[in-house]
Amino acid sequence: MIDTLKEHLVAVENFSSQSPEEIENFRIKYLGKKGLMNEFFAAFKTIPNEQKKEFGQVINQLKQAATEKVNVLKEALEDQQDTAGIYGDLTRPGQPLELGARHPISIVKNQIIDIFSRIGFNVSEGPEVEDDWHNFTALNLPEYHPARDMQDTFFIQTNPDILLRTHTSSVQVRYMENNKPPIRTISPGRVYRNEAISARSHCFFHQVEGLYVDKDVSFADLKQTLQYFTTEMFGKSKIRLRPSYFPFTEPSAEVDVYWGLETEADYRMTKGTGWLEIMGCGMVDPNVLKNCGIDPEEYSGFAFGMGIDRIAMLLHQITDIRLLSENDTRFLKQFKSAL
């Protein structure tokens, strides 16, 4: 009998639990009305007198140990609940980290940078608040030139010399002023035009400008570069150049890529022609080279400019340009990219 008690003593001392039910079951098992302690006390009466002293001591020890164990475990449990009040349940799984997605404009911009960097173009940038010289005059658009009306300009307050750039061609000028040929650079950035906002046009959007200046740069180099670009960007190598006019290039052209007419979306996007206009380009006008301190007798170059928003809309079949600046996460989280 005494051995059984001693075994229980060890079991009580070793018992541990954080579950309220287990602790309560433990309490009932030893200290409950029909628990072991009461059984042992009842058995005490039947013990021979000479053993009573030792037996009594062990029973009391066991009762004390069981009572103390229950108290200690319950207190620990309460402490835990107190901290739960401040920090919540510390054992629950953590909040999953939500990964953001890159903006479609950034995705397309990075793709374009990647494609041109493979053929030796670097990236250059210029200010969005620009002066008249870099945005217009140096680009062969002197004051009162009618082509200035092609782009409605936001001026900064009342100073007609300071404006929000209407195109990234201004970066061409800055780059040529500060670097000697050979020049191979692309300039991505945001541009602004005073236009009514609709599904098709916005008062700000994004462009990438390209510029290549060296000895003997020809129109054939331009065409080859554009063809490389459309193949890499769209997987389409059939392009056509339509004669056009830009003050800063001569000759000038608009570039169409043959998109095809395979799906209904192709018909819609190309208005049934299969062709999509993707950019403007041309040979840098000798006047522009001169304005930027480059001798047009020695050097020639080509330039091109394209709208990033437009390309992003084509590639992802986005039908309203305003979605690109509303920052609605339901729209944005549909885009994934490695670049």
Where does this chain bind ligand DAH (CB under 6 A)? Answer: 167, 169, 209, 246, 249, 280-282, 303-305
Q: Closest CB to ligand DAH among 37 and 226? A: 226
* 128 in a labelled binding site: no
> Smallest distance, Å, CB 223 to ligand DAH?
13
d(CA 286, CA 288): 5
Q: CA–CA distance from 286 to each of 210, 220, 282, 291 (Å)?
A: 17, 18, 12, 9
Nearest residue to the partner ligand DAH, using Cβ: 305
Q: Closest CB to ligand DAH among 23 and 257? A: 257
> Smallest distance, Å, CB 232 to ligand DAH?
19
Query: CB–CB of 250/283 below 8 Å?
Result: yes
> Smallest distance, Å, CB 249 to ligand DAH?
4
Q: Closest CB to ligand DAH among 229 and 304? A: 304
List the structure tokens of 34.
């029909």
Nearest to 322 by CA among 105, 106, 157, 13: 105
Kindly tell me the burial class for residue 336, based on how many C-beta atoms sit within 10 Å of its own C-beta (0-12, 13-18, 19 or more): exposed
Q: CA–CA distance from 23 to each of 11, 18, 134, 175, 213 (Å)?
A: 14, 8, 81, 78, 84
Q: Closest CB to ligand DAH among 228 and 267? A: 228
> Smallest distance, Å, CB 330 to ligand DAH?
31
Known binding residues: 250
Known binding residues for Mg(2+): 250
